[in-house]
């Protein structure tokens, strides 16, 4: 039996609806076999018509055939299972988060590989073959799989959106050009995509230029903050040197001056750090929008591109952050001058006092 299993194609014992090994197999009048649960569920959808068809060959039956388990086929499948025949596809073939699932699969759905704009459905590899077999010679338009099929259809005429109206700035179908959009300036979606792509490139260049400008401003502001801190530290050290030369009776004044310097430093640094945060947020937003534009520029979905481009192609506005100028010799010069004058006055008082003695 193991040798026989090696010579058999596993698809021969798979249900074309669930794509798994047959469970409670039944054979319908046309000769094709399915899981009893799968074909029942498939035919339940046609109860309102009274006409039932084979999912593979499309042969119709009236009335609904009575289903009976194919005992011999069930025994073969069970024996093949024991010999190691596996009909289930690898795990990576199944649809997961972010994947587009096949619209035909029942139970655990496989990943779709193509979408049909005529059938408005997406198909896995197996059901795509069935789709092509059922529509020989028909010009069904297949595209790379997309989960936005409903967005590609005109809500008024149920036709494919393949025209762009410049007058109303929206995607329309060819019937719309003879209806509500008659006389409007229209072109094909592909032609509009080409034009909008140029506009997107210009806008993206502006974003990149603004990012460079803001990065330079960010660097300059960081340097200004460091200079401000160095200036404050230098002022503290100078003040401490001057006050240590004074007598113990003015130590309280020394503490007051140091506190004044620190307060000024804290206020200036706090203001600069607030601007830093604003700059970093703006750069992050610019980068996010630039990434969205980059992703949009590579999409193959013309309709999604045109519907998203209008809102994303708004160029960045001018910034309004004030420019900080830091001068390490001016910010605390008044403090230094005041302390020096106090020292001189104290020395003069001390000299005058000494002479009086």
Tell me the sheet residues that pair with 35.
Answer: 25
In the chain, where does DSSP find H-type helix? 2-7, 36-44, 71-82, 125-134, 189-244, 251-298, 302-312, 333-356
pTM, two decimal places: 0.37
Supply the mean pLDDT for the chain: 80
**316: pLDDT confidence band, cut at 50, 70 and 90?**
low
- CA distances 69 to 33, 95, 121, 194, 195, Å, are 10, 30, 32, 58, 61
Token pair listed for 201: 């490139």
Tell me the sheet residues that pair with 60.
Answer: 53
Token pair listed for 6: 């090696």
**5: pLDDT confidence band, cut at 50, 70 and 90?**
very low
- The three-state secondary structure class of 1 is coil
Token pair listed for 234: 């230098």
CB 304 within 8 A of CB 148: yes
CB 54 within 8 A of CB 40: no
pLDDT of 6 reads 43
Question: Average pLDDT, stretch 6-29?
Answer: 75
Is the bond into 63 cis (omega within 30 degrees of 0)? yes
């Amino acid at each position: 039996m193991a040798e026989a299993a090696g010579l058999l194609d596993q698809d021969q014992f798979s249900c074309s609806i669930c794509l798994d090994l047959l469970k409670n197999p039944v054979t319908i009048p046309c000769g094709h076999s399915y899981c009893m649960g799968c074909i029942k569920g498939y035919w339940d959808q046609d109860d309102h018509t009274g006409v039932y068809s084979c999912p593979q060959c499309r042969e119709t039956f009236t009335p609904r055939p009575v289903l009976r388990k194919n005992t011999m086929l069930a025994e073969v499948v069970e024996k093949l299972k024991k010999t190691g025949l596996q009909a289930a596809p690898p795990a990576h073939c199944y649809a997961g988060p972010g994947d587009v699932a096949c619209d035909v699969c029942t139970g655990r759905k496989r990943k779709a590989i193509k979408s049909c704009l005529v059938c408005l459905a997406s198909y896995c590899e197996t059901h795509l073959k069935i789709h092509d077999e059922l529509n020989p010679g028909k010009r069904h338009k297949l595209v790379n799989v997309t989960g936005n099929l409903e967005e590609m259809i005109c809500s008024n005429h149920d036709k494919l959106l393949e025209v762009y109206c410049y007058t109303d700035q929206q995607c329309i179908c060819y019937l719309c050009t003879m209806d509500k959009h008659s006389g409007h300036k229209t072109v094909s979606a592909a032609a509009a995509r080409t034009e909008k792509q140029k506009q997107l490139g210009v806008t993206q260049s502006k974003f990149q230029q603004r990012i460079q400008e803001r990065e330079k401003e960010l660097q300059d502001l960081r340097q200004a903050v460091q200079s401000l801190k160095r200036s404050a530290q230098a002022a503290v050290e100078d003040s401490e040197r001057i006050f240590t030369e004074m007598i113990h009776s003015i130590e309280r004044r020394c503490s007051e001056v140091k506190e004044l310097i620190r307060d000024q430093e804290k206020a200036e640094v706090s203001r600069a750090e607030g601007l830093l945060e604003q700059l970093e947020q703006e750069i992050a937003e610019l980068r996010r929008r630039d990434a969205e534009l980059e992703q949009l520029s590579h999409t193959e979905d013309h309709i999604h591109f045109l519907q998203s481009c209008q809102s994303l192609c708004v160029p960045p506005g001018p910034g309004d952050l004030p420019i900080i100028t830091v001068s390490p010799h001016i910010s605390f010069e008044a403090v230094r001058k005041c302390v020096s004058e106090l020292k001189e006055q104290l020395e003069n008082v001390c000299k005058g006092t000494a002479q009086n003695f």
